[in-house]
């Protein structure tokens, strides 16, 4: 039965990407230290408020925090911008503008212009297989959530992350990868404390095929490890039978031309994003291609920077709004 391959922190991103494509998931063990992880998770505000609306993650005993990148912006620089994670994300999401220094941009073919016999000109539309070109201009955060499995929580229903775009984007095994899912182990993930359940190979299954319990494996990994799963892999949080809480820090990367699942412009407003590194705010979505997400006059690589239209003057603007009130 297929399982999830556990890679070492120094394994090449090509090898991790190969496991990921084959199994629909992969783990890199101990990619950051346990101490780093403890520091990043120490002050996450899990409390009774974070129980709101969490039936989807196993019920009232479990907890989740939305916009976890904003809850602790240190997570952006350390986990979101982890170079090895970005190398793997670049290989799966095939951007024209990759994030990792060592990645190669995937180039799109030049547009072709054609004329009919009687001189009617048009741009030729393209229909190329996924491996023949880029999947996106760049990618950005889809959602950022910390999920805590607690003793007594229920098992989460198996689902595919692409389900959020169905039926508009139908389930087509083998079609382009549009989301890359990243789960950091903020604590040890064990079979008892709710380590994520996954069905290896299910990213290639037709919609009608239903998983059996015997096909489910768990992403057991030590604190500081990271799990990736495919946008069409069946997965879900497991029920915890342990007093030891399982804390996961999840974010997804989604192609720039598809709506972000969590609204990052409200979750991480411009005033706060402006305090991050440019690369971090590019990943949050403060970046555009020449097709999608642009703001006329602004620098598309950094929408908060001074473009042709001048500085945003974020603080001045909020003062004006207050004054007008
Ligand atoms: O926390 C986990 O292990 C998985 C959570 C998940 O897949 C989800 O909430 O969509
Ligand atoms: Fe999920």
Each residue's pLDDT tens digit, 268-284: 999 999 999 999 999 99
The Å distance, Cα 269 to ligand 1 centre, comes to: 25
Looking only at the bridges linking them, the beta strands covering 6-7 and 25-28 are parallel
Q: Under CATH, to which class is 6-102+127-262 assigned?
A: mainly beta
The Cα–Cα gap between 98 and 176 comes to 17
156-176 pLDDT, tens digit per residue, is 999 999 999 999 999 999 999
Q: Identify the weakest region by mean pLDDT among 81-95, 199-213, 306-320.
A: 306-320
Residue 186 Cβ contacting ligand 1 at under 6 Å:
no
Rg over alpha carbons for the chain, rounded to the nearest Å, is 21
212-242 pLDDT, tens digit per residue, is 999 999 999 999 999 999 999 999 999 999 9
- Per-residue CA distances from 128 to 98, 108, 122, 131 (Å): 20, 10, 18, 8
Please indicate whether residue 136 or residue 318 has the higher confidence score (pLDDT): 136
Residue 153 Cβ contacting ligand 1 at under 6 Å:
no
Residue 248 Cβ contacting ligand 1 at under 6 Å:
yes
The Å distance, Cα 249 to ligand 2 centre, comes to: 12
Nearest to 185 by CA among 75, 42, 30, 39: 30
Residue 237 Cβ contacting ligand 1 at under 6 Å:
yes
- B/e letters for 241-262, b = 16+ CB within 10 Å, e = fewer, are eeeebbbbbbbbbbbbebebbb
The Cα–Cα gap between 269 and 239 comes to 34
93-104 pLDDT, tens digit per residue, is 999 999 999 999
E-strand stretches of 87-157: 113-115, 121-123, 139-149
Q: What is the pLDDT of residue 48?
A: 81
Residue 150 Cβ contacting ligand 1 at under 6 Å:
no
- Per-residue CA distances from 47 to 61, 86, 153, 183, 193 (Å): 11, 31, 15, 21, 19
At 151 the three-state DSSP class reads: strand
Q: What is the pLDDT of residue 16?
A: 98
What is the pTM (predicted TM-score) of this model?
0.95
Please indicate whether residue 318 or residue 144 has the higher confidence score (pLDDT): 144
Atom 8 of ligand 1: nearest residue by CA position:
236
Q: What does the DSSP 8-state code read for residue 211?
A: P
Could you say which ligand is closest to the alpha carbon of residue 183? 1
Residue 249 Cβ contacting ligand 1 at under 6 Å:
no
The Å distance, Cα 98 to ligand 2 centre, comes to: 25
Hey, which of 183, 217, 249 would you mutate to test ligand 1's pocket, going by the most ligand atoms within 8 Å of its Cβ?
183
Q: Identify the weakest region by mean pLDDT among 50-59, 72-81, 196-205, 264-273.
A: 50-59
Share of the chain above pLDDT 90, in %: 89
Q: What is the pLDDT of residue 323?
A: 56
Could you say which ligand is closest to the alpha carbon of residue 220? 1
The Å distance, Cα 57 to ligand 1 centre, comes to: 7
The Å distance, Cα 15 to ligand 2 centre, comes to: 24
User: Average pLDDT, whole number, for the chain?
Assistant: 94
Atom 6 of ligand 1: nearest residue by CA position:
236
Residue 230 Cβ contacting ligand 1 at under 6 Å:
no
Residue 196 Cβ contacting ligand 1 at under 6 Å:
yes
Q: Identify the weakest region by mean pLDDT among 260-264, 266-270, 309-313, 317-321.
A: 317-321
């Amino acid at each position: 039965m297929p399982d999830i391959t556990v890679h070492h922190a120094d394994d090449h991103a090509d090898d991790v990407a190969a496991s990921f494509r084959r199994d629909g998931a992969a783990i890199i063990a101990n990619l950051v230290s346990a101490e780093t992880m403890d520091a990043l998770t120490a002050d996450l505000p899990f409390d009774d408020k974070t129980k709101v609306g969490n039936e989807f993650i196993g019920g009232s005993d479990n907890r989740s925090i939305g916009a976890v990148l904003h809850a602790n912006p240190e997570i952006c620089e350390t986990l979101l911008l982890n170079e090895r994670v970005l190398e793997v994300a670049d290989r799966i999401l095939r951007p024209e503008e990759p994030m990792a220094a060592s990645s190669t941009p995937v180039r799109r073919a030049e547009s072709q212009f054609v004329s009919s016999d009687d001189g009617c000109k048009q741009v030729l539309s393209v229909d190329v297989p996924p491996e023949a070109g880029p999947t996106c201009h760049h990618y950005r955060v889809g959602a950022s959530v910390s999920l805590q499995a607690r003793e007594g929580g229920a098992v989460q229903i198996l689902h595919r992350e692409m389900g959020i775009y169905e039926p508009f984007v139908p389930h087509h095994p083998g079609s382009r990868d549009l989301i890359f899912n990243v789960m950091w182990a903020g604590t040890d993930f064990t079979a008892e404390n709710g380590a994520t359940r996954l069905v290896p190979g299910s990213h290639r299954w037709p919609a009608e095929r239903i998983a059996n319990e015997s096909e489910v494996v768990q992403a057991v990994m030590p604190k500081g490890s990271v799990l990736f799963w495919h946008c069409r892999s069946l997965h879900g949080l497991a029920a915890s039978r342990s007093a030891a809480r399982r804390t996961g820090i999840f974010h997804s990367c989604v192609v720039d031309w598809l709506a972000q699942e969590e609204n990052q412009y409200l979750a991480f407003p411009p005033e706060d994003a402006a305090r991050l590194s440019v690369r971090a705010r590019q990943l949050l979505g403060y970046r555009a291609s020449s097709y999608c997400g642009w703001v006329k006059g602004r620098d598309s690589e950094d929408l908060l920077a001074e473009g042709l239209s001048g500085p945003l003057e974020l603080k001045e603007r909020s003062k004006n709004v207050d004054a007008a009130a």
